[in-house]
Amino acid sequence: MDLLNTLVDKGLRRELPTREEALAVLATSDDDVLDVVAAAGKVRRKWFGRRVKLNYLVNLKSGLCPEDCSYCSQRLGSKADILKYTWLKPEQASQAAAAGLAGGAKRVCLVASGRGPTDRDIDRVAGTIKAIKDENEGVEVCACLGLLSDGQAERLREAGADAYNHNLNTSEATYGDITTTHTYADRVDTVSKAHAAGLSACSGLIAGMGESDEDLVDVVFSLRELDPDSVPVNFLIPMEGTPLAAEWHLTPQRCLRILAMVRFVCPDVEVRIAGGREVHLRTMQPLALHLANSIFLGDYLTSEGQAGRTDLEMIADAGFEVEGADELTLPEHRVTAGGGCGSHGEADAGCGSHGDAGCGSHEGGGVCGTAAPAAAAPAANEARTDLVAVRRRGAGTDLAPNA
């Protein structure tokens, strides 16, 4: 169709689509979804080939957050039965990170719940960064600690952090509907502080919170203006005990259209499929690799992802390859233009984990190393609570992590 040909041409030239074109991608029918994936896949391959970057989350401090983000299981007043613990010691965090790196991860995302770090917290994280980098030469480290005060981004950079993640999550117009304890402008300010300090900025969104197509386009265009090196795309995991527990609006086809729209608007940026891919994309996850060039390996912050081994098999079976530690993630023009960690430390999802501290990943489902029982095919938009499992292993526990 003419729309897709136009968007491919623009993506290959790094030209911004119009808002109307972005909205038209989201409005395409399920019958056309493979055409949409094929078109956006041409843009993805132009700038990132068939490489898939692996990222690994370490939740440094879980739960007990004073913020009221409706999507987050660690929020103020959350009744979600998640792990709750205070700061991991540097050696504990390094041990947790080692599992993900052994599984092929190139970046470690250090996340801590809370409004933002104190200066003492920055010292703690600095010690953790040093412990991880002392044990793993060339590893990228992204911090995701909430809202930053003046000077804190510079201190993290001096401590060896390569990137900082802070997601916008949704459009400015609807931000007050999901959070009241801080503002959209606060989030933009933190991303700007990271940029100014020389950190690779990572900022993304959460889809599936009841937003409109216009809201999705608004937040992605706002991200394009902020120019992060990586954009994590989370799909809401409706966790029991949170205000959005009943929000089950996404289908696999809808998720693919959202990822395609993000790729067309951000053609040469690391697009990461973050939390919720197992829950909402399900058996169509391999198609999403034609749109995004980055994923999280294993578990998320407070929920479990599919087995790390399954992630690696999925990448290989789909004809993609894991990006090596010596390969550039970002295209050369972004690296040479000062786009941050394009070589040994781009930005994700930073973290790109969802919710919880806003790190770019959201949450996930599945149990490592076990086969899920057979289930009847779900109806469209049916709640798949069988795919949502609270994390009970890895960081903050005595059990081995999933990687």
65 as an active site residue: the answer is yes
- Active-site hit among 51, 69, 257, 266: 69
Active-site residue identified among 124, 144, 187, 202:
202
How many Cα atoms are found within 13 Å in the side-chain-facing hemisphere of 202?
Answer: 42
Q: Which long-range contacts (CB under 8 A, 24 or more apart) does 370-376 make?
A: 370/307
Please identify which of the residues 44, 51, 72, 124 carries the catalytic annotation: 72
CA pair distance 213, 192, nearest whole angstrom: 26
Given the residues 124, 263, 272, 391, the one annotated as active site: 272
For the record, the structure tokens of 129 come out as: 């960064």
Owner of token pair 């891919």: 277
- Tokens of residue 284, six digits: 């169509």
Clarify whether 255 is annotated catalytic.
no
**Between 252-265 and 19-26, two packed helices, what is the crossing angle to 10 degrees?**
160
Beta-carbon count within 10 A of 324 CB: 10
**Residue of 44, 51, 65, 351 with catalytic role:** 65
SS3 string, 307-344, reads: CHHHHHHHHHHCCCEECCCCCCCCCHHHHHCCCCCCCC
CB 373 within 8 A of CB 167: no
**72 in active site:** yes
- Whether 368 is catalytic is no
Give yes or no: 142 in active site: yes
Q: No. of H helices and E strands in the chain?
A: 14, 10
Q: Where are the beta strands (DSSP E) in 94-237?
A: 107-112, 140-144, 163-165, 200-202, 205-207, 230-235
**Catalytic member of 51, 107, 124, 142:** 142
Backbone phi, psi, residue 160, to 5°: 110, 0
With residues binned 3-state (H G I as helix, E B as strand, rest as coil), the percentages for the chain, rounded to 5, are: 40, 15, 50
- Collapsed DSSP state (helix, strand, coil) of residue 52: strand
Catalytic residue (one of 44, 51, 109, 277): 109
Active-site residues: which are they?
Answer: 65, 69, 72, 109, 142, 202, 272
